[in-house]
A = this chain, B = another copy of it.
Amino acid sequence: MPGLTRRLAAFVAGSRFEDIPEQVRAHGERAIFNGFGTALGGLSDTAVERLAATLGAYSGKATATVIGHHRRFDPPTAAFLNAAATNVFDFDDTHAGTIIHPTAPVAPVVFALAETQRFTGAEVLHAFILGVEVACRLGNAISPGHYDRGWHITASCGIFGAAVAASKLLGLGETQIVWALGNASAQSSGLVETLGHMAKSVGVGGAARNGLLSALMARGGVAGPPEPIEGPRGFLKVTCDVPRPDLVDRDLGTHWEILRNMFKPYPCGVVLNPVIDACLAARSLPGFDGANVASVTVRGNPLLKARADRPDVTTGREAQVSAQHAVAVSLMRGTAGAADFSDAAVADPAITTVRDKVASVGVDTAIPVEAAELLITFSDGTTTNVKEAMATGSLGRPMDDAALRAKFAALADYGCPGLNAALLAQSLWRLRDLPDAGAVMDLARPAN
């Protein structure tokens, strides 16, 4: 039996769009739709703006759109910037189990290629689905040790997904796909240490750009080793103490990991979803008055405390992983969108006051990660207890199409009000029927 990398490459090379189940196609379209939305929301973030200014100075022939920008860039640079924008708020999709954000490094690559050469929407969707599948399966094989060790798995696995998606779209053969994965293995990177800092986007952007280049290099004959993934000094063993290579291709083509991919209702750490749900529910209770809140206690899975017990925050980025801020903003404003996790929201006196009243983040191992409990004590001594059993956006309660459309519209309005977002949304929603996927990107550039 040939090696793991070779088997993956054969699967990708041989996959036909007809082989992709309807449920998988539909999820792929929604993932891309959601990703365009988060990119529109993220494009005006300072990190993305600064990266665009620096990298733009070295862009080659400007054929590829950065979502929401007037200006175009060369395909690798556009892929970098779109990946960075898609992920900058951590508002993009999340694969259950690995916490990979799979769309950010993969979708920008197929759309950059679709502006260089004509591909149908179905071809682009197909390549995207395969890229996401490979990234998430690699993540399964090295989770949780890989992330725990300090690898930012979105970037480190995402580059392989980007390489696979580009390879499929470019029509590379089996051996060239092995090479593309080898070239990706030589560039896989991204550190958890950078999370909460602009440098996070350097890793995620690099995954898209370098994954695309890995496939282009393979097409150009740049050969890699035969076993970059499973070899003795290959990706799995080097970046994980106890990898499970068998998980990479188990039930490949019958079980689809993309179906374990979740869309986020709120632009913050996924552990905060049930907390925000509970706050929004509390706020809508009869007689609730934010002015009377004396203290708030949150209880949840140990991961909630580990990832998000952060009482002192000074930036929007920090607020994204602060239970204290999430509670304050959702209780006081009744919303939890991009504007609610901005630097301005963090500095809003109405929010800081309540943030200081969130006494502690309690831990209960019996509470699953999708659930949380809230105890609000009011100034008159009365209390309200709210429990969220299954957070919005979890596998058990996914966002529905209407919620996804509303999220898209809100993000477009927040980050790129000059764009005709409805037209873009309409086009993305029927991606698989488009004769020319590149046309989507024309709709992603504002008119002026």
Contacts and interface: CB of A to CB of B under 8 A. Distances in A.
A198 B183 CA distance: 9
B222 A199 contact: yes
A187 B216 contact: no
Quickly give the copy total for this chain.
2
A203 B188 CA distance: 9
Interface string A25-56: 00000000000000000000011001101110
A213 interface: yes
A116 to B, nearest CB: 10
Given A179-B199, A223-B199, A238-B150, A186 B155 contact: yes
Contacts of A182: 194, 197, 199
Interface in A173-206: 179, 182-183, 185-194, 196-203, 206
A219 B53 CA distance: 11
A193 B75 contact: no
Interface residues of A, number: 64
Nearest to A228: B193
A438 interface: no
A259 to B, nearest CB: 30
Given A60-B60, A186-B199, 20 more contacts: A50-B217, A50-B221, A51-B217, A54-B216, A54-B220, A55-B213, A58-B76, A60-B74, A149-B233, A182-B199, A185-B191, A186-B189, A191-B228, A193-B231, A193-B232, A197-B224, A199-B225, A199-B228, A202-B217, A202-B224
Interface of A: 46-47, 50-51, 53-55, 57-61, 74-77, 149-152, 155, 179, 182-183, 185-194, 196-203, 206, 210, 213-214, 216-217, 219-225, 227-228, 231-235, 237-238
